[in-house]
A and B are shown apart, each in its own frame.
Chain A
């Protein structure tokens, strides 16, 4: 006791800053000690949970395989399947077990096709997992709804169409994105009908995702994209233009030409690019006549079109823009001139007074 008192007295004789430093150090030591214990407890619980997870996963995988191969007409196999279903059903009210069951089912669904994939889907229904996914759609949190839609899409549950279509104009883009992916994944081109009424923007990322999904299907018979090209929603028009290009919609040329006078510059540029792809020769004279009223980006796109669709009668127009103020247009004009009249191109090389021009001529000359 006396020793302690001596230590306390000794400590109190220290200057204030030293005392403070000692107090803080002590505090840190206690915190480190407590945190170490806390981490040990957490690690113990995580390892325990991981082991439980592994055991349950192994059990469940075995049950699943047994269920899938018991798919025979015999009464015995039928009873066995029912027993497996009720066993799994008893596990799924526990969230982490349900998550594990879902991940195993989904991983296998990705790898197998045919009757086995159908059996997995049946199991999804019969174990009641579908009800959990449908309940998520009624949740007030947007991220839960998005997860629910994603799950129903992965398991290809067409019956939930009526519930999911209501989210097509949801305020959160993540929910809209999931809804759109659900529709296209399950109903292919027919699923795109949501574009008819879509008022919210369709992001570039979503557009790419939808196109990727569409290209996976064997049946590439596209539906009528005319209403989307005429949509008031600019993002829908841009998406329809991508469809027109990918699916070679030559019959849409008239509407595309009308779109050359669209209010949005981005759309007009995209239209020129699509017309280039579709050999829209009809648009060429129209664009040539209005060339000076076009923006620089549109002019560049138009020269891209000319590069593909040029005819000898375009030569005077090309020649006129060889010394255009824009570098890209100059370059394209020279390339086109070289294609249609090599002699004139070589002659221009000698005549040019612009210091930078010989480099460009040399560059174009070396392009095969």
Chain B
């Protein structure tokens, strides 16, 4: 599998670092954002192959990030969303906006890697 550019938007810095470490080990290039605003900037400037975003984030939510990718930038790149327990409605909204996959927290980072590779293949 070739080197892919992935944007991760996650406000938990430890989790971000953990995922960065894991996905870099798989050979991907990771771009990290701590909120939705930063994520949008990274996506606009770097044209990634995949976006992983949390739903609840400061300033701009994950839903707004998805909407921006699909409606404003009109990108067809795969999007994976993270959601905490009790955010089922948000997940449905995310799918309606164009998300491709979701993972409920707590999740296994190994499972995330499998899903990322599947979506990128």
* Interface residue ranges, A against B (CB under 8 Å): 57, 61-62, 64-65, 68-69, 104, 107-117, 216
Contacts and interface: CB of A to CB of B under 8 A. Distances in A.
A64 B14 contact: yes
A216 B104 CA distance: 13
Given A111-B106, A112-B107, 11 more contacts: A61-B13, A62-B17, A64-B14, A65-B21, A68-B18, A69-B22, A69-B25, A111-B107, A112-B18, A113-B108, A115-B110
B18 A65 contact: yes
B114 interface: no
Nearest first, the 6 closest Cβ-Cβ pairs linking A and B are A113-B106, A114-B108, A108-B14, A111-B15, A61-B14, A65-B21
Contacts of B74: none
Interface centre among B17, B18, B22 (most CB of A within 10 A): B18
Contacts of B13: 57, 61
B105 A107 contact: no
A104 B107 contact: no
Nearest to A109: B106
Q: Helix, strand, loop or mixed for chain A's interface?
A: helix
Contacts of A61: 13-14, 17
Interface string B59-86: 0000000000000000000000000010
B27 interface: no
Contacts of B58: none
A140 to B, nearest CB: 34
A43 B91 CA distance: 42
Contacts of B107: 111-113
Contact of A112 (B15, B25, B85): B15
Contacts of B25: 69
Contacts of B22: 69
A108 to B, nearest CB: 5
B84 to A, nearest CB: 8
A69 B106 contact: no
B14 A107 contact: yes
B58 to A, nearest CB: 15
20 contacts: A57-B13, A62-B17, A64-B14, A65-B14, A65-B21, A69-B22, A69-B25, A108-B14, A109-B106, A112-B15, A112-B18, A112-B106, A112-B107, A112-B108, A112-B109, A113-B106, A113-B108, A115-B108, A116-B109, A216-B85
Contacts of A65: 14, 17-18, 21
Given A61-B13, A114-B110, A216-B85, A108 B18 contact: yes
Contacts of B12: 107-108, 111
Nearest to B21: A65
Nearest to B10: A111
A61 B22 CA distance: 14
Contacts of B108: 112-116
Nearest to B85: A216
Contacts of B109: 112, 116
A110 B21 contact: no
Nearest to B107: A113
A104 B22 CA distance: 18
A108 B18 CA distance: 9
A61 B21 CA distance: 11
A114 to B, nearest CB: 4
A112 B14 CA distance: 11
Contacts of A62: 17
Contacts of A216: 85
A69 to B, nearest CB: 6
A61 B105 CA distance: 19
